[in-house]
Amino acid sequence: MATANENAAQDFASVVQSHRPQIFRFLLASTRDVDLAETLTQECFLKAHQNWPRFRGDSSAMTWLMRIAINLQKDHWRNRRLQFWRQARTNAVDLDEAGEWLPSGERSQEQQLLARERLAQVWRAVDGLSERQRTVFLLRFVEELELSEIARSTGLREGTVKAHLSRALARVRTELGGKR
């Protein structure tokens, strides 16, 4: 006679076998990267296995697995944005160093100082934006991505990207003393 643990393991193996293709297809469509989709699918089933004893059956196993997959996908995009910020900070140009790149006769010391102060104001304003607004703003104006590319990169709809970008621009302009 099979033990409760053996039955649970068999039940879970059956769930994996029947739902793995759907979870993989969803993650592949979401990420458009076979290796990443495979990795996230494995993570999904690992998390499900670890939490299988706590699965109450309030929803179907497929619904429960899909929620895990969606959360993993969101975590992946969130981590990508954090990597973007780490790279942006690492690759950021020091304001004093940037001033040295200007040809000596092109701007006076006063003009260079004013330009550095204005640039510092812009970065302070950008730092004050919400995470999504800041991400969209930087992807548009630093990385020079099109709105459709930003939407794909962030997982947001293009209309949502436009709304966040508009709010970000309004806030930066306000912070810089300009009109909305």
- What would the DSSP string read from start to end of 9-39? HHHHHHHHHHHHHHHHHHHHHHH--HHHHHH
Look at the block and give the residue holding tokens 């296995």: 49
- Would the pLDDT of 180 be above 50? no
pLDDT on residue 106: 56
> pTM for the whole thing?
0.46
Contact (Cβ atoms closer than 8 angstroms) between residue 73 and residue 27: yes
Task: Select from 20, 49, 79 the last residue of a domain.
Answer: 79
Contact (Cβ atoms closer than 8 angstroms) between residue 40 and residue 31: yes
Residue 8 belongs to some domain of the structure? yes
Residue 168 belongs to some domain of the structure? yes
* 75 and 102 inside one domain: no
Secondary structure element (H or E) that encloses residue 52, with its range: none
Q: CA 126 to CA 142: how far, in whole Å?
A: 12
What's 90's domain CATH number? 1.10.10.10
Residue 87 belongs to some domain of the structure? yes
What's 36's domain CATH number? 1.10.1740.10
Half-sphere exposure of 157 (CA within 13 A, CB side): 3
Q: CA 78 to CA 81: how far, in whole Å?
A: 5
* 38 and 50 inside one domain: yes
Residue 180 belongs to some domain of the structure? no
Task: Select from 79, 95, 125 the last residue of a domain.
Answer: 79
* 67 and 16 inside one domain: yes
Q: CA 178 to CA 173: how far, in whole Å?
A: 5
- Would the pLDDT of 150 be above 90? no
pLDDT on residue 129: 87
> Residue 159: which pLDDT band, with cuts at 50, 70 and 90?
very high
pLDDT on residue 101: 54
* Mean pLDDT (whole number) for 38-55: 92
Residue 124 belongs to some domain of the structure? yes
* 166 and 144 inside one domain: yes
**Of the candidates 87, 110, 112, the residue with the CA atom closest to the CA atom of residue 97:** 112
Residue 100 belongs to some domain of the structure? yes
Domain with 58, as residue range(s), is 4-79
* Mean pLDDT (whole number) for 146-172: 88
Domain count, the chain: 2
Task: Select from 46, 79, 112 the last residue of a domain.
Answer: 79
DSSP string, 69-112: HHHHHHHHHHHHHHHHHHHHHHHPPPHHHHHHHS-TTTS-HHHH
* 93 and 129 inside one domain: yes
* 120 and 38 inside one domain: no
* 133 and 145 inside one domain: yes
* 149 and 94 inside one domain: yes
